[in-house]
Amino acid sequence: MTQAISARQLLEVAYDEAQLGLAEGGIPIGAALFAADGTLLGRGHNRRVQSGDPSIHAETDAFRAAGRRRDYGSTIMVTTLSPCWYCSGLVRQFGIGAVIVGESQTFHGGHDWLAEHGVAVTVLEDDRCVEMMTKFITENPALWNEDIGVADEIEAR
C-alpha cells in the first residue's frame, strides 16, 4: 500500500457500504477491493436479506463488482468485519495480497489464518464498526445467528 493512502481512508468506503446495507434493512457489513495505489476496483455489502441470497457477503459482493483480473496479489480487500471462512477462502483462492479489517470484536473470523498464510492483515478495531455491529446484533439476534451460521439455530427452523 502506498503511504499516501491510509487503511482508515480505505475503510471509509467499506463503512459507507455497510451503512447502505443497513438502510436497505440488511446486515451492516461492507467491503471494497482496491488496487495497491488505492484505486477502487469494486465495492459491495452483505445482501442476504435484500436478495434472499446467503452467499452474497460483503467481500464476495465487492469481489464480483471488481470483475475479472489477471492477478490479485497486489489488491487489498477491505471489510468492516473480520472475514468469515467463506470470505477468507475467497482471499486465499484468488491470492488477494492484503486484507484490512474494520473490527474483529463482535466476530472473530479467519483473519489470523490468513495472516499465517502470508496475507498482509491489518485489524483496525475501529470504534464505529464495533458500535454498528454491536447495535445490529443486539437488535437482530436471530438474523445475526442465521448469518454467521450457528448450526443449531438453523436446524431449529
Annotated catalytic residues are 59
Per CB under 5 A, the list member of 12, 38, 86, 143 interacting with Zn ion is: 86
Looking at the Cβ atoms of 57 and 126, the one nearer to Zn ion is: 57
Give the H/E segment covering residue 10. Answer: helix 7-23
The DSSP bridge partners found for residue 142 are: none
To 5 degrees, how large is the angle CA 71–CA 109–CA 23?
Answer: 85
66 is a site residue for Zn ion (CB under 5 A)? no
| Sole binder of Zn ion in the list 84, 114, 119, 132 (CB under 5 A) | 84
Stretch that binds Zn ion, among 1-9, 61-69, 81-89, 132-140 (CB under 5 A): 81-89
Q: How far apart are CA 59 and CA 121, in angstroms?
A: 15
What is the Cα–Cα distance from 34 to 42, expressed in whole angstroms? 7
Element (H, E) at 121: strand 120-123
Please tell me the distance from the alpha carbon of residue 133 to that of residue 111, in angstroms, as a whole number. 17
Nearer to Zn ion, 10 or 80 (CB): 80
Minimum distance, C-beta of residue 58 to Zn ion, in the bound complex (Å) = 7
Only one of the segments 30-38, 49-57, 96-104, 137-145 lies at the binding site for Zn ion (rule: CB under 5 A); that segment is 49-57
Min dist CB 21 to Zn ion, Å, is 13
Q: Which residues bind Zn ion (CB under 5 A)?
A: 57, 84, 86-87
